[in-house]
């Protein structure tokens, strides 16, 4: 049973919550959601998940608590949470933009707005998910800093960006100046493919590991329990 | 204790151009759309709108009624990007104060508590500080010495919200899973207008659901409007979900065409137009 690219992405997202303990996992996007639930069912059983609305649910969807938006926002500031957000743009220091493309005063393309990116990044670990790795997303400088990167954080005490997962690999900021580093390649992806699709110079270690293989149990959970309809393939093809 | 019931038109008659108007709900969820439609039928404009934005913002922006918007996002939820809002922003249709979701809540809370600001960690290091040069920071006087954002109070001239039930006195009840921030909007406003699916006797309220569902207190509510289906086409759980098909129609129709067809003389005309559209779709 060979894993698909989308399944490697699920595994890479799930790994963001390994050893996270009893905190709230807030995945945004389908593949991070499958990843968080996979982590909950396997190596991170104490995670809390929501139904995307106001209820805290277990892996089967049974409600175990209530978390309306007002409490969710308060919860963020307490820090017991690891969110994985999307990114319209992300730069080498992890600044993220979901607000608009172009000049903020008169944008070329209006996107969502800053949403909770500022509060997330200053208060709890924030990772990112990019389903289509390209130079349009991985840019030298974002047009509007929504999620705060390492060069803007001024050492803020609760600021941390554990990882960026894309359809090509996993990235982190484990470099002396906290600039982005290639941490692992999904099987079948080359270093050159990644550098071609990235609009800034990444740190590339001399030996880049592959994203780990899913276990047979994990593959079974993804395919039969968490996403039997195969919606993950619509977010990441190949 | 007065009877505060009124029509949507009476609510609008108490609003004026240039006001700062808070709109409850969240995204495309339990928005006071019947009140927004009534506002669109008036000639009130030049508004400062404060909203966790959805189609309320999209419609008011498309109709050119907004001078300044205060928000953290504008979305239709199932359609992530609000097309009419986008178009208005991309043509430079109004001024924007863009703050984080948590900063926004802090601003309402400060207004409700009659404070000039509340300290919040969110915003530091991000471009919300750059695009709003009026935002200031405040430094903790205690040993930690932490610098925080001083989120200014978002005081409102008026608030518009929609809930499931209310009595004639202005006690309001939500029956869905999330109160959103509707109580805060009412507390932050000089006048608050509540539309509801159904007006019931006061004694009914506590029978319908547990006491914690009694979200709005009459001392913060100025007017009560009975507006069945008044959140349409946004969701109003548990009574109805979002009308996804109609929302898609809204999102894909040029604004002048949509307004001409659906924003008729009154709310009854809107409902008739939606019914007519649905029959057409079924054919």
CA of A159 to nearest chain B CA: how many angstroms apart? 11
**A85 contacts A28 by C-beta, under 8 angstroms:** yes
User: Number of Cβ pairs closer than 8 Å across A and B?
Assistant: 123
Q: What is the pLDDT of residue B1?
A: 62
Buried b (16+ CB within 10 A) or exposed e, B229-251: bbbbbbbbbebeebbeebbebbb
pLDDT bucket at A237, cuts 50 / 70 / 90: confident
Instruction: Say whether pLDDT at A124 is over 80.
Output: yes
Q: What angle do CA A198, A199, A202 make, to 5 degrees?
A: 60
A104 to chain B, minimum CA–CA distance in Å?
8
B120: its two tokens: 């919040």
Which domains does chain A carry? 5-235 (3.40.1080.10)
d(CA B85, CA B56): 10
Q: What is the DSSP string of A131-200?
A: SS--TTTB-SS-SS--BPPTTTSTT-TT-----EEESSEEEE--STT---EEEEE-TT--HHHHHHT-SS
Q: Tokens 């389908």 map to which residue?
A: A30
Of B92, B124, B126, the CB nearest to A114: B126
Smallest CA–CA separation between B212 and chain A, in Å? Answer: 13
Question: What percentage of residues in chain A have a pLDDT greater than 90?
Answer: 95
Quick check: B53 pLDDT over 70?
yes
* CA distances, A42 to each of A6, A13, A38, A169, A210 (Å): 19, 13, 6, 22, 21
Average pLDDT (A175-192) is 98
- pLDDT at position B58: 98
Most B-contacting residue of A122, A145, A152, A161 (CB-CB within 10 A), to test interface: A122
Mutate which: A113, A126, A142, A154, vs B, most B CBs within 10 A: A113
Each residue of B251-278: pLDDT tens digit?
999 999 999 999 989 999 999 999 999 9
What is the tens place of the pLDDT at every residue in B211-229?
Answer: 999 999 999 999 999 999 9
Residues found in chain B: 283
CA B190 to chain centre: 15
Q: Hey, is the C-beta of A46 within 8 angstroms of any chain B C-beta?
A: no
Q: Which residues of B touch A121 (CB under 8 A)?
A: 125-126
Cβ of B121 within 8 Å of Cβ of A119? The answer is yes
> 3-state class of A81 per DSSP?
strand
ipTM (interface pTM): 0.95
Share of chain A above pLDDT 70, in %: 100
Nearest CA in chain A to B95: A105
Contact A70 B180 (CB under 8 A): yes
The answer to whether the pTM exceeds 0.95 is yes
Q: How far apart are CA B229 and CA B1, in angstroms?
A: 27
Q: Is the pLDDT of residue B4 over 80?
A: yes
pLDDT for A154 equals 94
pLDDT band with cut points at 50, 70 and 90 for residue A185: very high
Q: pLDDT at position A211, please?
A: 98
Q: Which residues pair with A170 in a beta bridge?
A: A165, A184
User: Chain B contact for A164, CB < 8 A?
Assistant: no
Could you give the angle at which helices B83-90 and B55-62 cross, rounded to 10 degrees? Answer: 40
Question: A76 CB near a chain B CB, below 8 Å?
Answer: yes
Round the average pLDDT of chain A to a whole number and report it.
Answer: 97
Element housing A62 (H / E): none
| Mean pLDDT to the nearest integer, A69-92 | 96
Provide the shortest C-alpha distance from residue A139 to chain B (in Å).
17
Kindly state the tokens that stand for A190: 């080359």
Rounded to a whole number of angstroms, the distance between the first and last alpha carbons of chain B is 51
SS3 readout for chain B: CCCCECCHHHHHHCCCCCCEEEECCECCECCCHHHHHHHHHCCCCCEEEEECECHHHHHHHHCCCEEEEEECCECCCCCCCCHHHHHHHHCCCCEEEECCHHHHHHHHHHHHCCCCEEEECCCCCCCHHHHCCCCEEEECCCCCCCEEEEEECCCEEEEEEEEEEECCCCCEECCCCCCCCHHHHHHCEEEEEEEEEEECCHHHHHHHCCHHHEEECHHHCCEEEECCCCCCCCEECCCECCCHHHHHHHHHCCHHHHHHHHCCCCHHHHHHHHHHHHHHHHC
Q: Is B7 exposed, middle or buried (0-12, 13-18, 19+ CB in 10 A)?
A: middle
What would the pLDDT profile of A36-61 be if each residue is shown by its tens digit?
A: 999 999 999 999 999 999 999 998 88
pLDDT at B29: 98
Q: Do strands B156-166 and B172-173 pair parallel, antiparallel, or not at all (unpaired)?
A: antiparallel
* Residue A89 bridge partners (DSSP): A97
Question: What is the rounded distance in angstroms from the CA atom of residue A16 to the CA atom of residue A32?
Answer: 9
pLDDT of residue B177: 97
């Amino acid at each position: 049973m060979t894993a698909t690219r989308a399944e490697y992405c699920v595994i890479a997202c799930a790994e963001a919550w390994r050893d996270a303990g009893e905190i709230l996992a807030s995945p945004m996007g389908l593949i991070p959601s499958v990843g968080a639930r996979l982590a909950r069912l396997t190596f991170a059983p104490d995670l809390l998940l929501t139904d995307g609305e106001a209820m805290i649910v277990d892996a089967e969807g049974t409600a175990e608590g209530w978390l309306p938006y007002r409490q969710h926002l308060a919860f963020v500031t307490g820090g017991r949470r690891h969110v994985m957000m999307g990114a319209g743009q992300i730069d080498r220091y992890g600044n993220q933009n979901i607000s608009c493309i172009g000049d903020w005063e008169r944008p070329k393309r209006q996107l969502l707005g800053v949403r909770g990116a500022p509060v997330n990044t200053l208060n709890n670990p924030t990772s990112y998910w990019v389903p289509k790795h390209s130079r349009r997303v991985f840019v030298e400088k974002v047009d509007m800093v929504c999620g705060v990167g390492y060069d803007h954080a001024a050492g803020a005490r609760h600021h941390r960006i554990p990882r960026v997962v894309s359809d090509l690999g996993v990235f982190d900021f484990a470099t002396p100046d906290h600039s982005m580093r290639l941490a692992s390649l999904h099987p079948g992806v080359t270093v050159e493919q990644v550098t071609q699709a990235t609009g800034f110079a990444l740190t590339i270690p001399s030996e880049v590991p592959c994203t780990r293989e899913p276990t047979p149990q994990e593959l079974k959970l993804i395919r039969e329990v968490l996403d039997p309809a195969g919606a993950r393939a619509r977010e990441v093809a190949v | 204790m007065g009877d505060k019931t009124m029509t949507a038109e009476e609510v609008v008659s108490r609003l004026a151009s240039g006001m700062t108007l808070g709109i409850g709900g969240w995204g495309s969820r339990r928005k006071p759309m019947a009140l927004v439609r009534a506002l669109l039928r008036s000639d009130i404009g030049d508004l400062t709108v404060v909203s966790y934005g959805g189609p309320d913002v999209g419609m008011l922006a498309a109709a050119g009624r907004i001078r300044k918007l205060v928000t953290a996002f504008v979305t239709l939820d199932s359609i992530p990007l609000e097309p009419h809002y986008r178009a208005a922003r991309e043509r430079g249709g109004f001024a924007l104060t863009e703050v984080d979701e948590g900063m926004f809540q802090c601003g309402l809370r400060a207004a409700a508590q009659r404070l000039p600001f509340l300290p919040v960690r969110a915003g530091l290091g991000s471009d919300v500080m750059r695009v709003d040069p009026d935002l200031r920071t405040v430094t903790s006087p205690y040993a930690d010495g932490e610098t925080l954002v001083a989120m200014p109070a978002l005081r409102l001239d008026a608030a518009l919200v929609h809930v499931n039930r209310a009595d004639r006195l202005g006690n309001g009840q939500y029956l869905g899973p999330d109160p959103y921030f509707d109580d805060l909007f009412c507390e932050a406003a000089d006048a608050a207008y509540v539309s509801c699916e159904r007006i019931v006797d006061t004694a009914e309220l506590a029978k319908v659901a547990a006491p914690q569902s009694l979200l709005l207190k009459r001392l913060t509510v100025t007017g009560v409007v009975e507006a069945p289906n008044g959140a349409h086409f946004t969701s109003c759980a548990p009574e109805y979900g979002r009308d996804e098909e109609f929302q898609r129609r809204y999102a894909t129709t040029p604004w002048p065409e949509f307004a001409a067809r659906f924003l008729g003389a009154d709310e009854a005309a809107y409902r008739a137009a939606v019914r007519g559209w649905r029959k057409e779709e079924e054919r």
